[in-house]
Amino acid sequence: MSGGISIHCVDVASGRLAVGLGVEVVRLGPDGLPQGAPLAEGRVGSNGLLHHPTLMSEAITAGGYEVRFSVGDFYRSQGHATGGPVFLEVVPYRFHIADPVQHYHLPFKFTAWGFSLFRGGA
């Protein structure tokens, strides 16, 4: 069984879970670049997690992945930015899974001007 991926998002500027933040997960090809349609996409729920059945399924195998966090759209939806681009629009995070039996927890802590991404709780 696959250990899967969990993605937890917190807007540390407000001290709240990033409810509504758009997130996509794509697989990286042999060239290290994103390939194909997203494996999973959606919005962060009320518990701060992205819920998508693919993330906890056998579809998560060894290899490279990219998670894209739509920070600009999130802040525009909160009324903190209007119109054009903001400092952070889309934050990409590329990582590799060596052992698909392990669980990969990815906390994303951010503000409109910076972020922190890491593998947590391994």
Q: Distance between CA 9 and CA 51 in Å, rounded?
A: 12
User: Quick check: is 122 in a domain?
Assistant: no
Q: How many domains does the chain have?
A: 1
User: Quick check: is 53 in a domain?
Assistant: yes
User: Quick check: is 118 in a domain?
Assistant: no
User: Quick check: is 120 in a domain?
Assistant: no
pLDDT of residue 86: 82
**CA 29, 7, 105, 17 torsion-angle sign:** positive
pLDDT > 90: what percent of the chain? Answer: 84
pLDDT of residue 85: 74
Q: Distance between CA 82 and CA 73 in Å, rounded?
A: 10
pLDDT value at 2 more than 80: no
User: Quick check: is 117 in a domain?
Assistant: no
pLDDT value at 122 more than 70: no
The CATH number assigned to the domain holding 69 equals 2.60.40.180
| pLDDT tens, residue by residue, 71-108 | 999 999 988 766 667 889 999 999 999 999 999 999 99
